[in-house]
Amino acid sequence: MIRFILLQNRQGKTRLAKYYVPLEDSEKHKVEYEFRTHKVIYRRYAGLFFSLCVDITDNELAYLECIHLFVEILDHFFSNVCELDLVFNFHKVYLILDEFILAGELQETSKKAIIERMGELEKLE
Amino acid sequence: MALSGMRGLSVFISDVRNCQNKDQERLRVDKELGNIRTRFKNEKGLSPYEKKKYVWKMLYIFMLGYDVDFGHMEAVSLISAPKYPEKQVGYIVTSCLLNENHDFLRLAINTVRNDIIGRNETFQCLALTMVGNIGGRDFAESLAPDVQKLLISSSCRPLVRKKAALCLLRLFRKNPDVVNVDGWVDRMAQLLDERDLGVLTSSMSLLVALVSNNHEAYWSCLPKCVKTLERLARNQDIPQEYTYYGIPSPWLQVKTMRALQYFPTIEDPNTRRSLFEVLQRILMGTDVVKNVNKNNASHAVLFEALALVMHLDAEKEMMSQCVALLGKFIAVREPNIRYLGLENMTRMLLVTDVQDIIKRHQAQIITSLKDPDISIRRRALDLLYGMCDITNAKDIVEELLQYLSTAEFAMREELSLKAAILAEKFAPDLSWYVDVILQLIDKAGDFVSDDIWFRVVQFVTNNEDLQPYAAAKAREYLDKPAIHETMVKVSAYLLGEFGHLLARRPGCSPKELFSIIHEKLPTVLSSTIPILLSTYAKILMHTQPPDPELQNQIWGIFNKYESCIDAEIQQRAVEYHALSRKGASLMDILAEMPKFPERQSALIKKAEDTEVDTAEQSAIKLRAQQQMSSALVVTDQRPANGTPSGIQLSLVKVPSMSINEDQNMAEQGLSHENGILSKVDPQTPSADLLGDLLGPLAIEGPPGTDVQSQQNIVSGLENVPNTVEAAAIVPVEEQTNSVQIGIKAEWRAHQGRVVLFLGNKNTSPLVSVHAIILPPSHLKIELSLVPDTIPPRAQVQCPLEVVNLRPSRDVAVLDFSYKFGNNMVNAKLRLPAVLNKFLHPISVSGDEFFPQWRSLSGPPLKLQEVVRGVRPMPLLDMANLFNSFRLMVSPGLDPNPNNLVASTTYYSESTRPMLCLIRIETDPADRTQLRMTVASGDPTLTFELKEFIKEQLVSIPTALRSPMAATPAPPIPQPTSPAAALTDPGAMLAGLL
């Protein structure tokens, strides 16, 4: 399962952090540098690093592509996403993430389904 | 789209972005936090919009890495807001800021439940999402049935049901005991027929959790999984939006195959055939393409299929197909795939009969040793190490040696160690082994640990045929300019011992040997000088008849070092000098070293340690499953000194070796030495003047020593009077070769916080790990989730909260089990949550003590007993013992010097802190008996405390008494294995309690 997901820029500023395991706040801040017993799958898009911490037995490539799918969804939603979009709309990113991953597992893998769902939610605001 | 819709929030984010440096940013953040704090304080004036905005700001600040220690309440309270915008913020921020252990969350349970069972679909989704992300035990207890209902409800949209599936998954994973899944087999089977891919994906994850917990119950889901896989991989029967770069949901395919790996076998031939057909299709139909994403996705599926094929023990033909595929992968351009190819090939080694096919790829694997990516090089090294056997050892080792000169520093030590081990294990002849090791030292001396040269010395000493050869080789190396210090050591040692065997060869007279070795002396470190001195003494001894010139020269050197500041050098110089004047008796004293008892190769131990580093460094990519590389199987060397221990073996060894080990047990004390069965002297030979050199070889001591020393540590710490607030840290360690369990505890009043450290000492993961606390009725113990798998060489921490409800001497037991190889291992360990942990020493004056003592008159509040069979000890020791149990002795309170008075406070949840008073009257004429009076305001407490103290005072018949003396109750959990019980005072004590 996914233990946490992190999105950081090259300066190490966190743009998104979501934990599916209970960690103390101090651990959360530390975790961004070290995490021993699991593996971190990461991918860089321009200046942004997307990292997933997953179980040691998990399928690496599947999670690597899971990152890409997430990026595609963000790209679609923000039409040509850039770091600033994520900074100023971090709350939206959390919403999208909640439609994509839940309880540390993939919930929905259809870009279309997620974008449609976001449309529904925007109407409610 | 750079507007967030909330102006204040956007402005704040811009401000933070515009900060020039970290200090400015902190100032801005602090200012904002101050502002939010004030606004939250007079909450009345806060509109829902404002509240929402501030809560988002808090989350943003938290995300930047600042501590946000207030406002949690406000976030949680937004959950109960009636309108979606506020409610949504409440849910999202709460699930980011808080975790399942937060007390505030409990406040929200009712609202969350109402949202889940309510009619508003959006609210249902929000609530399910939060519970799925951070729901803890309380949520599981009150919500699981509702979530289950939603999952199978026919009136809910897939949107809600997929969330319900994953929400249930979390609740089940965290609290399998709370979530009732009896009868869920049929429902799961039904869910697997689901057409909506979102629901199916989520349900498949749920199934994996359920099956991994109890595969037998879910047999009926197996054919459904195969069907799903057929639907995806063969029929491609899914909506377009669920294909990813043309591949039908790779994630669902991977999950499905993961689920299938939890079933031990597939018995039904039809299902098996269908599955193999699909797998075959996946294996054959995957090509390396240009598009990275497509490549990754298809290979994710492919590697999972490979894992499944290996798991299913497919026919040889299919296996060789797999190997052929992997062979293709390790040559592709994409580094991720090369990496996984090598890694999977290493895993393949465990499958029987494929080694030969793997060997066909040896050349390519050797090429991978030169890959630009270090993690790939490491994989290649692991694979070469694993696939090495007698047929290819020469090639592989020589390849490693060659690579050694160009390999980067980070890999050299591991490389040389592995080369050394392989050379030792598979040497076609021993002279080759000597060649390899000397080459190793020559090429990478800095990276050759002492163990390696110790080992070669050991080998040469034990093999007479080898001695002249080794000596000659050593002599050759000495001619080289600027040799490595380790080479000086090993050559000096070998020539000292066996140089005389070369006597007739040119350049090998004692004199010549001496001078060429002595040339090196000015260049070596002081740690090498003792070895050289020994060599000189040996050369002298072998020079018969004595050569006065050489003698004088060497004596001169001894003389010089007799005043050396280094004690070791000085001692040797003095002793050798004196000994070498004794003439003939020198022959006996400095005779050749006796053969070494066969010991477990320290190198192999070292290899395990080195593998830690690898595991940690490349843990990012390491897939642990069956990571046991065949290299480690070589630990079937017998344990040191022929004292195998029952516990050690049964817990540790890989299955294939168990037979071997059983033999060990049977023939204790006997050892094979070069194929000859001989008695092994468990003592180190007494004439071992140089024994210290070889000290590190004897790493393996009898396990008993270990246990005892740990106990001493524990008792030592416990003896320290606990003056500060009760924050005793009790390092309790239960250690076997495969698991290490440590405990750290902190006690405060009636509560305790204990952290269990479960460490896996193996290079393969421990699976099916279960830890349950069996608490006695007087303790409330909550254990947080213990992961199912402990990765190799990793340690997990499991905090547990202990609350003491009432006095009792019962002990909580940790029931710990795991699977190692195919064996279930179970250990029951006592936790040190004993009565005295809830005591707090208190000192009382005579004025306080006596009125209290009198007011508690007679049974059941005051109990008196004459205790016999007391372990005799001076009164001072007894006072120390009491203090160590947190019973504070008040000296001088009792006028009789043979008596002792102590007081303490007892904490439990049900009572106020209770003062306890204790009086001990000893008889100076008979120290084995005493009269004890205990008083407190609670009859049970009085009784339990009296019994507790009695247990500590009476003597327990055991040979190892001393460490126990100060050991309070049973602080050391021990396995209930009979072997341990016999040797181990802790276990005996526990047994008697």
pLDDT tens-digit series, residues B415-445: 888 888 898 888 888 889 899 999 988 888 8
* Rounded-to-integer distance, Cα B913 and Cα B838, Å: 10
pLDDT score at B352: 66
Least reliable range by pLDDT among B62-71, B363-372, B394-403, B692-701: B692-701
Nearest CA in chain A to B7: A88
Q: Would you call B745 an interface residue with chain A, using a CB distance cutoff of 8 Å?
A: no
Pick from B931, B719, B988, B969: nearest CA to B838? B969
Beta strands, E only, chain A: 2-9, 14-19, 39-45, 48-54, 101-102, 105-106
pLDDT of residue B5: 64
Q: What percent of chain A has pLDDT over 90?
A: 50
Residue B8 labelled as part of a binding site: yes
* Residues B241 and A113 sit within 8 Å (Cβ to Cβ): yes
Among partner residues A23, A37, A91, which is closest to B4 by beta-carbon distance? A91
Q: What residue in A sits closest to B128 (Cα-Cα)?
A: A102
What span, in angstroms and rounded, lies between the C-alpha atoms of B908 and B913?
7
Question: Does the reported pTM lie above 0.90?
Answer: no
Query: Confidence band (pLDDT; 50, 70, 90) for A85?
Result: very high
Coil, strand or helix at A109: coil
User: Is A109 close to B17, i.e. CB distance below 8 A?
Assistant: no
Residue B877's φ and ψ, nearest 5 degrees, are -65, -40
Q: Which residue has the higher pLDDT, A103 or A55?
A: A103
- pLDDT tens-digit series, residues B293-344: 999 999 999 999 998 998 887 777 888 888 888 898 888 888 888 888 998 8
Of A39, A102, A125, the CB nearest to B622: A39
Mutate to test the interface with A, among B93, B203, B241, B286 (most CBs of A within 10 A): B241
- Write out chain A residues lying below 8 Å of B624, CB-based: 56-57
Distance from the Cα of B258 to chain A's closest Cα (Å) equals 9
Give A54→chain B minimum CA distance, Å: 9
- Contacts with A, B 131-160, CB within 8 Å: 132-134, 136, 159
Confidence grade of residue B253 (pLDDT, cut at 50, 70, 90): very high
A79 at B interface, C-beta within 8 A? yes
The tokens for B164 are 């319900």
pLDDT of residue B956: 56
Please tell me the distance in Å from B621's CA to the nearest CA on chain A.
6
Are B948 and B778 contacting, i.e. CB atoms less than 8 angstroms apart?
A: no
CA B717/CA B563 separation, integer angstroms: 42
Minimum CA–CA partner of B337 in chain A: A61
Per-residue pLDDT, averaged over A102-120, amounts to: 95
Q: Is the pLDDT of residue B252 over 90?
A: yes
- How many Å apart are CA B165 and CA B201, to the nearest integer? 9
At A35 the pLDDT is 52
Residue A15 has a pLDDT of 84
B967 touching chain A per CB within 8 A: no
DSSP state of B764: S
B789 touches chain A (CB under 8 A): yes
Cα gap B919→B846, rounded to integer Å: 13
B57 annotated binding-site participant? yes
Give the model confidence (pLDDT) of B622-656 as tens digits.
223 333 332 222 222 333 333 333 322 222 223 33
ipTM reported for the complex, 2 dp: 0.91
- Residues B842 and B936 sit within 8 Å (Cβ to Cβ): no
> Higher confidence at residue B598 or residue B66?
B66
3-state secondary structure of B744: strand
Indicate yes or no: CB of B101 within 8 angstroms of CB of A22. Answer: yes
Torsion over CA: B835, B837, B839, B843 (sign)? positive
Which candidate from B2, B99, B167 shows the least CB-CB separation from A103? B167
Residue B240 makes CB contacts below 8 A (sequence gap 6+) with none
How many residues appear in chain B?
993
Cβ-contact B955, B881 below 8 angstroms: no
Pick from A14-18, B468-472, B486-490, B907-911: least confident: B907-911
* Cβ contact, residue pair A38, B791, below 8 Å: yes
Residues of B in contact with A32 (CB under 8 A): 65
Letter for the amino acid at A103?
A
B599 is in an annotated binding site: no
Taking an 8 Å cut-off on Cβ atoms, the answer to whether A36 and B619 are in contact is yes
Q: Two tokens at B543?
A: 């020079």
User: What pLDDT, on the 0 to 100 scale, is given for residue B223?
Assistant: 95
Angle of the B335-348 helix axis to the B292-312 helix axis, nearest 10: 0
Instruction: Calculate mean pLDDT across residues A48-53.
Output: 90
Residues in A 8-37 with any Cβ partner in B closer than 8 A? 13-20, 22-25, 29, 32, 36-37
| Burial class of residue B461, CB neighbours in 10 A (0-12, 13-18, 19+) | buried
- Smallest Cα distance from B897 to chain A, Å: 53
Is B1 in Cβ contact with A89 (below 8 Å)?
Answer: yes
Residue B734 · residue B827 · CB < 8 Å: yes
Residue B661: its pLDDT value, please?
Answer: 36
pLDDT at B271: 94
CA separation, residue B907 to residues A83, B804, B915 (Å): 55, 8, 9
Mean pLDDT across the stretch B752-776?
Answer: 80
Residue of B nearest to A52 (CA): B620
Measured between CA atoms, how close is B131 to chain A, in angstroms?
A: 8
Is residue B29 within 8 angstroms of chain A, CB to CB?
no
The residues, any chain, with a CB within 8 Å of residue B654's CB and separated by 6 or more, are B628, B632, B633, B821
pLDDT for B567: 84
Using an 8 Å Cβ cutoff, are B539 and B580 in contact? no
Read out DSSP for B246-264? TEE-HHHHHHHHHHHTTSS
pLDDT bracket for residue B602 (50, 70, 90): low
- Is there a contact between B624 and A56 if contact means CB atoms under 8 Å apart? yes
Contact yes or no for A102 and B2 at CB 8 A? no
Residue B790: what pLDDT? Answer: 82
Q: Tens of pLDDT along B37-50?
A: 988 887 677 888 88
Query: What type of residue sits at position B616?
Result: E
**Mean pLDDT (whole number) for B676-698:** 32
How many Å apart are CA A72 and CA B969, to the nearest integer? 61
Which pair of structure tokens corresponds to residue B826? Answer: 């179970």
Rounded to 10 degrees, what is the CA torsion of A78, A84, A87, A90? 0
Residues 6+ apart with CB under 8 A from B394: B428, B432
Q: Please, which contacts does A93-101 make with residues 24 or more away whose CB atoms are closer than 8 Å?
A: A93/A7, A93/A15, A93/A16, A94/A16, A94/A18, A94/B92, A94/B96, A95/A121, A95/B88, A95/B92, A97/A5, A97/A16, A97/A18, A97/A70, A98/B92, A98/B129, A98/B133, A100/A69, A100/A70, A100/A73, A101/A2, A101/A5, A101/A18, A101/A20
DSSP H or E segment with residue B928: strand B926-936
Share of chain B above pLDDT 70, in %: 81
Q: d(Cα B802, Cα B837) in Å, to the nearest integer? A: 11
B22, with CB counted inside 10 A (0-12, 13-18, 19+), is exposed
Query: For the residues B387-413, what does the mean pLDDT come to?
Result: 86
Residue B710 has pLDDT above 50, yes or no: no
Q: What is the mean pLDDT of residues B185-189?
A: 93
For residue B122, the chain A residues in CB contact (below 8 A) are 121, 124
CA distance B125 to chain A (A): 9
| A18/B96 touch (CB, cutoff 8 Å), yes or no | yes
Residue of B5 and B776 predicted with greater confidence: B776
* Closest by Cβ to B251, choosing from A25, A88, A109: A109
Across the interface, whether the CB atoms of B2 and A84 are under 8 A apart is answered: yes
Quickly state the pLDDT bin for B659 (edges 50, 70, 90): very low
B56 is in an annotated binding site: yes
* Residue A43 at interface with chain B, using a CB cutoff of 8 Å: no
Say yes or no for a CB contact (<8 Å) between A65 and B336.
no
pLDDT reading at B464 higher than 50: yes
Considering chain B, what is the average pLDDT of its residues? 78
Kindly list the residues from chain A whose CB atom is less than 8 angstroms away from the CB atom of residue B204: none
B155 HSE (CA, 13 A, CB side): 5
> Between B62, B249, B620, which is nearest A109 by CB?
B249
Task: Please give the share of chain B, as a percent, with pLDDT higher than 90.
Answer: 24
**Residues A93, A86: contact at Cβ < 8 Å?**
yes
* B99 contact A CB<8A: yes
B993 CB within 8 Å of a chain A CB: no
Q: How far is B611 from chain A (nearest CA, A)?
A: 15
Distance between CA atoms of B906 and B677, rounded to whole angstroms?
62
Q: Which residue of B94, B131, B244 to mutate against A (max A Cβ within 10 Å)?
A: B244
Lowest-confidence region among A69-78, B293-302, B670-679: B670-679
- pLDDT grade for B990, boundaries at 50, 70 and 90: very low
**Which CA distances in Å does A78 have to A9, A111, A121, B50?**
18, 13, 15, 26
CB contact under 8 Å between B622 and A78, yes or no, is no
Distance from CA of A47 to the nearest CA of B (A): 16
Q: If DSSP codes are grouped into helix, strand and coil, which group holds residue B718?
A: helix
CA separation for the pair B545, B540 (Å, rounded): 10
Residues recorded for chain A: 125
> At B223, phi and psi to the nearest 5?
-60, -30
Determine the 3-state secondary structure of B912 from DSSP.
coil
CB B128 within 8 A of CB A98: no
Unique residue bearing structure tokens 């406040």: B107
Pick from B160-174, B623-637, B845-859: least confident: B623-637
Residue B53 annotated as binding site? yes
- Give just the sign of the alpha carbon dihedral B310, B315, B319, B321: negative
The answer to whether B813 is a known ligand-binding residue is no
Using omega within 30 degrees of 0 as the cis cutoff, is the peptide bond preceding B545 cis?
Answer: yes
Q: Quick check: B436 and B399 in contact, CB under 8 A?
A: no
pLDDT for position B729: 32
pLDDT for res B736:
55
What is the C-alpha to C-alpha distance for residues B787 and B624, in angstroms, rounded to an integer? 14
Q: Is the torsion defined by CA of B291, B292, B297, B303 positive or negative?
A: positive
Residue type at B108 in one-letter notation? A
Q: Do B99 and A37 touch (CB under 8 A)?
A: no
pLDDT for res B939? 86
**pLDDT, average across residues B790-816:** 82
Look at residue A109 in the predicted model and tell me its pLDDT.
96
Tokens at B86, concatenated: 């506020």
Of B1, B17, B796, the CB nearest to A78: B1
CA distances B105 to A8, A23, B70, B258, B791, Å, are 28, 15, 14, 34, 31
User: What is d(CA B560, CA B555) in angstroms, rounded to the nearest whole number?
Assistant: 8
Tens-place pLDDT, residues A23-46: 666 555 444 444 556 788 888 898
pLDDT range class, residue B79, cuts 50, 70, 90: very high
Which residue out of B129, B238, B758, B764 would a mutagenesis test of the A interface target, given it has the greatest number of A Cβ atoms within 10 Å?
B129
